[in-house]
Structure formats: C-alpha cells, structure tokens
A and B are shown apart, each in its own frame.
Chain A
C-alpha cells in the first residue's frame, strides 16, 4: 500500500464509517444494522486492496459511496432472489426497495440525526448508550472504546452485544424522525452527548488524543442537533455552548505527560478564542426564552470561567452552582460549588462547607480539602492529598496530586 492511502484510510474510516452506516441503516431498517455495518466494512476492506494496487482514487469519498451503493444493491438483489425463489419464511428487511441508496448530503445528515435518536435508547444503560454512540455514531473500534473507558475489550464487547440486541428489538424508525420520537428522547440524547463529552473531558485515560477525539465527536453530533429545526432546542444550544467553552481549554489543561493542569495554573494564551466565541453564540441562542436547563447553568458557569478574574466572577459562578445543585444533586457539583464558595467567602468558610459534604469515598473530596487547607495548615493539606492519591483511579489525577504534595513539602522545607 502506498503511504498516502496508509494515512488517508484511517482518517476516512473515522469520518465516513458512521455516515455510511447511518444511511444504510435508514435503508435497511434498524433490525438489520449488522447488514449495513458489514457492507460498510467490506467497502473499506475493498478500498485497502484496490487503493493499495491502483493508488488512491481522485475522489476517495465518492469512491467509497459508489462501492457501498453497489454492495447494497447486490445484497438486495440476492435477498430478493432468495425470497422469491426459495420462499423462505424469513421476512424481507424492512425498507426493502429497488431504489438506489442515496448518499446525498441531506440524506447523510438526516440519517445521522436519526441514528443518534436510535442509539440513545432509554432501555439501555447510560454506559451502554455511550459505548454504542462511540461505535455506531463515531466509528470507534472496540479497542479504542476500551482505551477511553480504561476497561477490558471483552467487557466492552459484551456490553455492546447486549445493547445491540436491545436496539434490534426496538421498533424505532430511522426513516423519518417524528416529532413524537424527538420529544420523548431528546432529553436522553442530550444527556448521552453530555456524558460522551465528559468522558473525553474528564477521561480516565492519559491519552490526550483520545480525549480530544471524544470531545470533538460529541460536538459534531450536538452540532447536528442544532442544524435541524426539529431538534434545535434551547437546551441543545446550551449544551453546545457548554462544550465549546470547555473545549476552548482542552489544550491548556493537558501537560506534557498527559497530567491535568489545574485551572489556575493554565496558560490562558492557549485558550481557543474561536471556541469561546462560538460558545457565546450558542449561549445567546440558548437564552432566547425562559427555559432553564441544567445545561444552561453549566454553560453559564463555563462562560464565567472564560472571563478574566474580576471581583464578581466567583459570586456569579457560586450562584449558578447553587441553582444547579438545587436542580440536580451530583457529588461533582457539590464539590465544585464548595470550591466556588471558598473563592467567594475564603478558605476557612469553604472548609466548613466542604466537611459537611462527607463524600469520604471520593478522591476529589480529599483533593478539595487538601487544596483548601494549603494556606491554613500545609501538614493537613498533605494528609488530605495523600488520602486522595490512595482513592484515585486516574493516573493523570495522581500525577497532579503528587506534584502538589512535592510543592508543599518544598515550601515547608524552604521555610525552615
């Protein structure tokens, strides 16, 4: 194989696999998802063979679409022969039709949007939905998903198998996205995309590339939602704004060894102004009515984080966290709220609030206490950081905490 197709194919696989599968699923029906995936996989296999011998075609994407289209046609022909000649009791795939598979831009967008709603099936667990989304909507391999979750490939495989069985049994129609399906599932869709993004942003893996990939895929899918009038809701805009604001700091928060750089120590010149502006744009869209979702509040918080520190900044952030924690409890929100509280009312008041949380099985809880005690009692701070290290499962977090302890020790020794 020549070097050009060597790098081009993986790239195309990532960008086209999900699109092609979505279009074919729409054609064959969700029950026959495997047929669609087989056709797409075979198409890419053929590309490796043919491109390796003949060189890369002039328009690689069009080449892929044509081959997939012909394969689908062949499949349907065979299926038709089988049905009419053998008259088997097997049912024809739903959506069976003589017409050609259409890989036009509108069909691609519509199919992908419909696939998002098909994949976000509430009958599956959140984790299973994210795995499915990564595999079916983003073209991730089982190994890549396992890497992102720091799980064994076998675990992911099993999870995907079960989740796919649920999808097949579901009568979800991807041909046309109906208003009823949208209203009943949009919340689940937003939640899954939110978690997909968080999986990247707060990933357990140290691999910065995987994390960026997860984040940009989540943004791509959420962008699809805002491009269709049926799904362009205020909450969807708020979620997209949140993702843009958070992503603007992606490069600034990863250290050379993959460790997380704390917000205050980040080089603010590395923040992406373009993404911040996009975030502002979607946040304005999100706030054009009275709706207030948790994504609005989180986007609001992320917005304030992108602004320079003035005296009122943390008060705004704290009040948004107050609203958020009253709306939905989560340990992470509780800890972040306490951090903001300490920023406004000082470390001592913050410690009082923090100790009341009693999140004694959370590494972040001890990390927060360590941080709050830093200026008050360094010895206690080191102790809390140590407890956080024993609890953390993230290598990045561990590195960050060890750095802090070393810094405190150094300071202490310097003082003596």
Chain B
C-alpha cells in the first residue's frame, strides 16, 4: 500500500454555502473510503478567502488565484495499491458535479525520486 494525496481544486468556494445534501455526499464519499480502511489522513479544508501568496522580494499578493482561475480547496491522503486504485477512489467524489477536479499524487518515500 502506498500513500496518495488527493488535491481538490474548485473554481467556486465549496466551503461557503454547501447544502446539507452536498455535505452528506462528501461525508459519504470519505466514509466509504474509510470503510475500506484506505483513508490514511482525512486532511484539511483550505480557506478560499484567508489566502495569501508570498513571492520573492517581499511581495505578498491576495489569494492563490490571481493568475489561475482554479484554487486548491482541500486535500486528503488515501492508501492504495497503485495510482490506478487511487484514481478510482477519487472518481466517486461529488466534486465533479460542481465543476471541480482532483489531482492525484503519490507521496514519495525515501529512495523513490520518481
């Protein structure tokens, strides 16, 4: 089993006014992964408004999304045999209904520099 970080990207803030149904769907998805004992870390939600980007030479800009229209809204870590399995787990997430996407990235272990 290997750890994969699932990075959620949205163009609209998913934390602002989620409906009870949306919240329920998200929890069902996470609960389903945890029920397979494949949830390594439930991760965190990341704020869309309390956000700054620090650049070289003391330049600080508002938000992560001045140049990109998508921003990271959260992440969590799953355990999976390979990246294909991690992708399958991600596919069932309700984020796609609202135009978001999920980036799946293997966590590198010592010696693995792929």
Task: List residues of A whose CB falls within 8 A of some B CB.
Answer: 315, 318-319, 321-323, 325-326, 329, 333-334, 337-338, 341, 353, 356-358
Contacts of A326 in B (CB 8 A): 30-31, 34, 39, 42
Within 46-75 of B, Cβ neighbours of A (below 8 Å) are at none
Q: Contact at A318–B39, with CB atoms within 8 Å?
A: no
Report the tally of A-B residue pairs with Cβ distances under 8 A: 43
Nearest chain A CB to B25's CB is how many angstroms away? 11
Q: Is B28 part of the contact surface with A, judged by Cβ < 8 Å?
A: yes
Contacts of B36 in A (CB 8 A): 334, 356-358
Contacts of A315 in B (CB 8 A): 24
Q: Contact at B27–A322, with CB atoms within 8 Å?
A: yes
Contacts of B42 in A (CB 8 A): 326
Find the residue from B24, B34, B35, B42 having the highest chain A CB count within 10 A.
B35
Question: Helix, strand, loop or mixed for chain B's interface?
Answer: helix
Alpha-carbon distance A358/B36, docked complex (angstroms): 8
Q: Please give 18 more A-B residue pairs, beta carbons under 8 A apart, in addition to A322-B28, A323-B27.
A: A319-B24, A321-B31, A322-B27, A322-B30, A322-B34, A326-B31, A326-B39, A326-B42, A329-B37, A329-B39, A334-B35, A334-B37, A341-B28, A353-B32, A356-B32, A356-B36, A357-B35, A358-B36
Nearest chain A CB to B114's CB is how many angstroms away? 28
Contacts of B37 in A (CB 8 A): 329, 334
The 9 closest A-B pairs by CB, nearest first: A322-B31, A334-B35, A325-B34, A322-B27, A326-B34, A329-B37, A325-B35, A337-B35, A325-B31
Alpha-carbon distance A341/B36, docked complex (angstroms): 14
Q: Contact at B39–A337, with CB atoms within 8 Å?
A: no
Alpha-carbon distance A235/B31, docked complex (angstroms): 23
Find the residue from B24, B31, B34, B36 having the highest chain A CB count within 10 A.
B31
Task: List residues of B whose CB falls within 8 A of some A CB.
Answer: 24, 27-28, 30-32, 34-37, 39, 42
Contacts of A318 in B (CB 8 A): 28, 31
CB-CB nearest in chain B for A341 = B28
Q: Contact at B24–A329, with CB atoms within 8 Å?
A: no
Alpha-carbon distance A358/B24, docked complex (angstroms): 24
Nearest chain B CB to A325's CB is how many angstroms away? 4
Nearest chain A CB to B8's CB is how many angstroms away? 16
CB-CB nearest in chain A for B23 = A319
Contacts of A325 in B (CB 8 A): 31, 34-35
Nearest chain A CB to B38's CB is how many angstroms away? 9
Contacts of B30 in A (CB 8 A): 322, 326
Find the residue from A318, A321, A325 having the highest chain B CB count within 10 A.
A325
Nearest chain B CB to A329's CB is how many angstroms away? 5
CB-CB nearest in chain B for A336 = B35
Alpha-carbon distance A321/B28, docked complex (angstroms): 9
CB-CB nearest in chain B for A319 = B27
Contacts of B32 in A (CB 8 A): 341, 353, 356
Contacts of B35 in A (CB 8 A): 325, 329, 333-334, 337-338, 353, 356-357
Alpha-carbon distance A151/B34, docked complex (angstroms): 33
Contacts of B34 in A (CB 8 A): 322, 325-326, 329, 334
Alpha-carbon distance A326/B26, docked complex (angstroms): 12
Nearest chain A CB to B36's CB is how many angstroms away? 5
Nearest chain B CB to A337's CB is how many angstroms away? 5
Alpha-carbon distance A358/B27, docked complex (angstroms): 21
Alpha-carbon distance A23/B1, docked complex (angstroms): 51
Contacts of A341 in B (CB 8 A): 28, 32
Contacts of B27 in A (CB 8 A): 319, 322-323
Nearest chain B CB to A245's CB is how many angstroms away? 22
Alpha-carbon distance A3/B36, docked complex (angstroms): 57
Alpha-carbon distance A338/B36, docked complex (angstroms): 10
Nearest chain A CB to B29's CB is how many angstroms away? 9
Contacts of A322 in B (CB 8 A): 27-28, 30-31, 34
